[in-house]
Each structure stands twice: as structure tokens, then as C-alpha cells.
């Protein structure tokens, strides 16, 4: 996935205090809104802490195939706007 697209999703999640859901080849990760501020973008990978800072997860940009900024609205929770990539 393109670094600029990932950066856009991360910034959107930070500004809206929303969760960020990341799908990669191995797993699906949900970065809670309070932890989104701890997301770091490096040259080739994204890092974030899980389990109250006990675990640092490294996700390579090329392995990410879907990002979702998960917003909550008063009428319905879990509304998602996604960022996706197609790999050849």
C-alpha cells in the first residue's frame, strides 16, 4: 500500500479520535482511538503499541491491503470508511 495513503488514514484517525483497523497478510489489528497517537510511520513500515505498551507491532506497508478509519456516530456505532489497495 502507498505510504501517502497510509499517512492520510493515520492523520484522519488522529484528528477524529477514531479507531484505525489494519488488515495485513497475517492478521487484523485494531488500534484504539486513544492509542492512535502512538502510531509511527517509518520509511517501509508502520509501528504501534498494543496491550498497554507491552507489545510493539511492526507492519510493512507492502503487507497492508486494507485500512479502515472506524468512526462512531450517535445513532449507529461502527460506521467505517475504508482505504484499500490493489496489488498486482
Residues 4-19 have pLDDT tens digits of: 999 999 999 999 999 9
Q: What is the pLDDT, as a whole number, of residue 52?
A: 79
Helices of type H across 1-88: 3-16
CA-only gyration radius of the chain, Å: 12
**DSSP single-letter state for residue 17:** T
Domains, the chain, ordered by start: 3-84 (2.30.30)
Does the global pTM surpass 0.85? no
Q: What is the pLDDT, as a whole number, of residue 71?
A: 85
CA distance 41 to 58: 10
Q: What is the pLDDT, as a whole number, of residue 74?
A: 54
pLDDT in tens, 34-64: 888 889 999 999 999 888 778 899 999 999 9
Residue that has been written with the C-alpha cell 482511538 in this structure:
33
Amino acid at each position: 500500500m502507498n505510504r501517502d495513503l497510509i499517512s492520510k488514514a493515520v492523520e484522519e484517525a488522529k484528528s477524529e479520535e477514531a479507531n484505525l483497523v489494519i488488515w495485513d497478510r497475517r492478521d487484523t489489528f485494531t488500534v484504539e482511538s486513544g492509542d492512535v497517537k502512538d502510531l509511527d510511520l517509518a520509511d517501509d513500515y508502520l509501528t504501534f503499541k498494543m496491550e498497554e505498551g507491552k507489545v510493539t507491532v511492526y507492519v510493512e506497508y507492502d503487507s497492508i491491503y486494507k485500512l479502515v478509519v472506524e468512526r462512531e456516530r450517535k445513532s449507529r456505532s461502527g460506521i467505517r470508511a475504508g482505504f484499500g489497495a490493489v496489488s498486482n
